[in-house]
Amino acid sequence: MSVVACEHCDVLIVGGGPAGSSAAATLAARGHRVVLLEKARHPRFHIGESLLPANLPIFERLGIAAQIRAIGLPKFGAQFHLADPPRAQRFAFAEGWNKALPLAYQVRRSEFDTILIRRAAALGARVIEECRAREVEFTAAGPVLVRADEAGAERTFQARYLIDASGRDTFLGNRLGTKLRNRKHESCAMYAHFRGAWRDPDCARCGDIALFWFEDGWFWSIPLADGTTSVGAVVWPDYMKRRRQDVRTFFFETIARCAPLQARLATAELVSEVQATGSYSYSCARVCGDRYVLIGDAYSFIDPVFSSGVLFAMVGGLAAGEALDTCLREPHRARAALRRCTRTVRRGPHRFAWFIYRMTRPAMQSLFMRPRNPLRVREALLSLLAGDIFADTPIGPSLRAFQAVYLLTALAMPRRSWAAWMRRTRRLGAALHG
């Protein structure tokens, strides 16, 4: 393997997804020397096509709003479906607390991520694709050293700071031993793209994301602008362990267990491979450390039920960019800047976790099927679904009221609540010790 001379920069970013590209764009726009390493070449496939309304102000800030609008299918709401008995409820973002966030977009991630990484390059970041980071070394008081492979050549980078935006590769978390399995949640996923799935003829509803609960987890159905639909099943690990056939057959058998989704796909054609992921709920012990920051899925991932991944990634990218800009320009303010970054990156997973852990419980399903608005709890829930948790929208008290209503609802159905709690506890234990 040939060796390329060492390259110096202010900030090295590992990963060219939404988190890394947002951080690179932020830092490059402020005049810093930024190098971004991306293991693949854009455009490349990625799951997670549903954006949230709270993403839109970030697009404006990065100067890519028109480009995202051009590739996206407008998404005005979210639908939740119970398979047994069949029931449905729609939530429109325009009815949330903040009326300035009425819509989002469904996007092909290959197109979306390409727009982001090209924007970072246009702002001055040095983007190196098909370059995989392999090793990291934190010297005693000097630069961070990262060794990477690019087309058979070994490259070395020296940076004053490192941002890990490597997604589920968790580059730093694995190497520093800070990646921790989430002991409160476990899930696996299967997913694919279909063409010809049923869509609501109402243009205000045809872009809705639809979520379907069934006994062993939940499904997503995300319509895309080119006529395809992303469909996925998020299930408990013990359900995946039952598989005795190929993943495609198992996926279709799983869809058959959810009549409302199966009806939508009755005339649809599978147009991609069916892919599967193993158990993927985790977090890292720290967001920031000595000369490094972790953002997006490189820091934490719970469950995609609220389509929050891209939002958390981009918010984290902006926060990391702003924090390291302060560290580089005003070192005496570095500690405070990194503390702010940590609070921001942790806020999203922390605020959503309570709801994610309970999304398959009977009490939560009951509240979603019969949403009411005392103390503005429905508006606050809609703001949560829209991702409006990083601004000053005062939804906290109403969300706490919702949590109290949830507890009362669970107590009002003791047998079902107890059975669901026991089933979850048993499955979580099996996943953690299996």
Q: What is the mean pLDDT of residues 307-322?
A: 97
Question: Residue 146 maps to which CATH number?
Answer: 3.50.50.60
Q: Are 119 and 23 in contact (CB under 8 A)?
A: no
Distance separating alpha carbons of residues 211 and 87, to the nearest angstrom = 12
Give me the percent of the chain exceeding a pLDDT of 90. Answer: 87
8: its two tokens? 């110096």
The phi, psi pair for 300, rounded to 5°, reads: -160, 145
| Contact in structure between 372 and 378 (CB atoms under 8 Å) | yes
Residue appearing with tokens 């060794």: 147
Q: How many CB atoms lie within 10 A of CB 168?
A: 11
Calculate the average pLDDT of the chain.
94
Spell out the residues 6+ positions from residue 320 whose beta carbon is closer than 8 angstroms to its own. Answer: 23, 26, 163, 293, 295, 341, 345
Q: What is the mean pLDDT of residues 201-219?
A: 94
- Across 295-321, average pLDDT: 96
User: Is 406 within the bounds of a domain?
Assistant: yes
Q: Are strands 126-129 and 34-38 parallel, antiparallel or unpaired?
A: parallel
Are residues 66 and 146 part of one domain?
yes
Residue after which a domain boundary falls, among 330, 351, 372: 351
Whether 22 and 8 share a structural domain: yes
User: Residue 289: pLDDT above 90?
Assistant: yes
How far apart CA 337 and CA 350 sit, in angstroms, is 20
Question: Torsions phi, psi of 337, nearest 5?
Answer: -65, -40
Shortest CA distance to 283 belongs to which of 329, 316, 242, 244? 316
Is 344 in the same domain as 361?
no
The pLDDT, as a whole number, for residue 225 is: 97
Say if residue 17 is in the same domain as residue 66: yes
Q: Is residue 243 part of a domain?
A: no
Structural domain range at position 51: 2-72+107-183+282-351
Q: Is 1 a residue whose pLDDT tops 60?
A: no
Domain boundary among 290, 320, 351: 351
- Tell whether 85 is covered by a domain: no
Token pair for 135: 């090793």
Q: What is the predicted pLDDT for the residue at 83?
A: 80
Written as one letter, the residue type at 130 is E
Q: Is residue 347 part of a domain?
A: yes
For residues 291 and 379, membership in a common domain is answered with no
Supply 429's token pair. Answer: 């234990």
| Whether residue 347 is found in the same domain as residue 384 | no
* Alpha helix stretches (DSSP H) within 85-212: 109-122, 171-176
Residue 362: which H helix or E strand, with range?
helix 362-369
**Residues 337, 422 share a domain:** no
Let me know if residue 136 belongs to a domain: yes
pLDDT at 139 exceeding the cut of 90: no
Question: Quick one: 135 and 35 in the same domain?
Answer: yes
pLDDT tens-digit profile of 76-123? 999 999 987 789 999 999 999 999 999 999 999 999 999 999 999 999
Question: Are residue 30 and residue 133 in the same domain, yes or no?
Answer: yes
C-alpha angle with apex 45: 217 to 132, nearest 5 degrees? 110
Q: Which tokens go with 91? A: 């939530």
Same domain for 38 and 163, yes or no, is yes
The answer to whether residues 314 and 295 touch, using CB atoms and an 8 Å cutoff, is no
pLDDT at 432: 75
- Give 319-368 pLDDT, tens digit per residue: 999 999 999 999 999 999 999 999 999 999 999 999 999 999 999 999 99
Which has the closest alpha carbon to 125: 13, 254, 229, 44?
13
CB 360 within 8 A of CB 378: no
- pLDDT reading at 150 higher than 80: yes
166, pLDDT greater than 80:
yes
Q: 410: which residues sit within 8 A by CB, 6+ positions away?
A: 361, 362, 363, 417
Q: Taking residues 1-18, what's their average pLDDT?
A: 87
Mean pLDDT of 298-322: 96
Extract the tokens encoding 158: 């020296």
Q: Looking at the domain assignment, is residue 80 inside a domain?
A: no
49, pLDDT greater than 80: yes
Please report whether residue 220 resides in a domain.
Answer: no
Domain C-terminal end among 299, 324, 351: 351
State the pLDDT at residue 2: 60
Structural domains counted in the chain: 2
In terms of domains, do 292 and 406 share one?
no
Residue 36 and residue 177 in one domain: yes
Quote the pTM value: 0.95
Show the tokens assigned to 127.
Answer: 């983007």
Residue 434 above 80 pLDDT? no
> Is residue 116 a contact partner of residue 59, using CB atoms and an 8 Å limit?
no
**If we measure between CA atoms, which residue out of 403, 364, 310, 266 comes closest to residue 105?**
310
Question: Considering the domain boundaries, does residue 223 fall inside one?
Answer: no
